[in-house]
């Protein structure tokens, strides 16, 4: 065996050992796990679409490798389980779809990218919480049992952005029930919880079992919508086209508003001894690129400075940091999220 071969083997073994040690250190410690999540990216608009590919994005293994090579520490995989499960008891999840999600999870985990896996876009439950409670809990019963032997670096998020009629006491009760279902099979796995669109203002109404310390609290922030959602066709309650041309920051108050909200979240986390994850932030691609870069860097830096982990929204599509047509990063946005190495 040559000296060069020996060196390569030793380096590889060291990397593997360091990865295992990092995962072991994070085991059953949400703060260390939050550090592992670090700077992440959402693989959105794929498995959370009504059908994968319907929104123009289909996951490929090379995208997970690209995220790893670019320096992202983790990925969040949003999944619309509600369109792939029976609507009547026992609410069985389509096994082929489950295999597809497994493939995506394993693409990340095999590259030492921790994964946050959630229930995303369960639209029916927001309009009729009582009518969908049993189905929601049955979906989590299946997922909790299915993923019980996965590595600790798989993190589960019961529901993305609860809102509508699912808020306040009703959401807190359902969240408690979902956590209990998951804990039957995953007593120590790190979970993620948020309340009412995951807004920072809703933290005061969020109730988490006090004796369950393996929970990271999620916040989302797209403020101000006039900038981040200018021209967004899915904004139907306001005229988003009227916002076209909005830049960021418009004035110092825009930055001060972000700082104030992030400080509120940091203070809440400190008071309740809970780590904070900024699960979503970003801007629609109709905003001008210079403003988007300033905005993205400001949010990313503010999150990291306060000890938050984050997931940028999103890898591809209309908030994209990566162009799947050219298989290249949108460099200014990437460097706003991950500072170039000196």
Query: Which one of 52, 157, 196, 280 is the catalytic residue?
Result: 280
Residues 6+ apart with CB under 8 A from 308: 34, 219, 262, 265, 266, 275, 276, 277, 278
Q: How far apart are CA 87 and CA 82, in angstroms?
A: 8
Token pair in block for residue 22: 């990092």
- Active-site residue 256, yes or no? no
Concatenated DSSP letters of 228-275: HTTT-TT-TTTTGGGGTT--S-SSHHHHHHHHHHHHHHHHHHHHHT--
Give Cα 288 to chain centroid, integer Å.
25
Question: Residue 88 in 3-state DSSP?
Answer: coil
Query: Which one of 52, 157, 161, 196 is the catalytic residue?
Result: 161
Pairing mode of beta strands 322-323, 328-329: antiparallel
**Structural contact between residues 185 and 150, judged by C-beta atoms closer than 8 angstroms:** no
- Active-site residue 280, yes or no? yes
Q: Which residues are catalytic?
A: 161, 280
């Amino acid at each position: 065996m040559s000296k060069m071969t020996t060196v390569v083997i030793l380096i590889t073994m060291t990397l593997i050992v360091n990865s295992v040690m990092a995962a072991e250190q994070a085991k059953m410690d949400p703060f260390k796990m939050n550090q592992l999540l670090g700077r992440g990216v959402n693989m959105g608009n794929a498995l959370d679409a009504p059908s994968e590919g319907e929104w123009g994005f289909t996951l490929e293994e090379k995208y997970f490798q690209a995220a790893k090579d670019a320096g992202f520490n983790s990925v969040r995989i949003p999944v619309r389980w509600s369109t792939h499960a029976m609507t009547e008891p026992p609410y069985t999840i389509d096994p082929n779809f489950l295999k597809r999600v497994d493939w995506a999870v394993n693409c990340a985990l095999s590259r030492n990218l921790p994964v946050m896996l959630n229930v995303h876009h369960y639209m029916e439950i927001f309009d009729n919480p009582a009518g969908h409670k049993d189905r929601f809990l049955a979906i989590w019963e299946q997922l909790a049992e299915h993923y019980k032997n996965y590595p600790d670096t798989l993190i589960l998020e019961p529901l993305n952005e609860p809102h509508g009629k699912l808020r306040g006491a009703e959401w807190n009760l359902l969240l408690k029930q979902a956590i209990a279902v998951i804990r039957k099979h995953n007593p120590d796995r790190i979970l993620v919880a948020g309340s009412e669109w995951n807004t920072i203002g809703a933290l005061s109404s969020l109730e988490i079992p006090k004796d369950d310390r393996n929970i990271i609290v999620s916040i989302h922030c797209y403020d101000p919508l006039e900038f981040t959602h200018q021209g967004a066709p899915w904004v139907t309650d306001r005229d988003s086209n009227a916002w076209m041309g909005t830049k960021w920051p418009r004035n110092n108050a825009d930055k001060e508003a972000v700082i104030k909200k992030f400080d509120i979240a940091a203070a809440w986390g400190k008071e309740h001894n809970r780590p904070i994850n900024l699960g979503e932030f970003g801007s629609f691609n109709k905003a001008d690129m210079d403003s988007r870069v300033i905005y993205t860097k400001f949010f990313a830096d503010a999150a990291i400075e306060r000890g938050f982990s984050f997931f940028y929204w999103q890898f591809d599509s209309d908030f994209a940091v990566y162009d799947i047509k050219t298989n290249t990063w949108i460099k200014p946005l990437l460097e706003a999220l991950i500072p170039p190495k000196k």
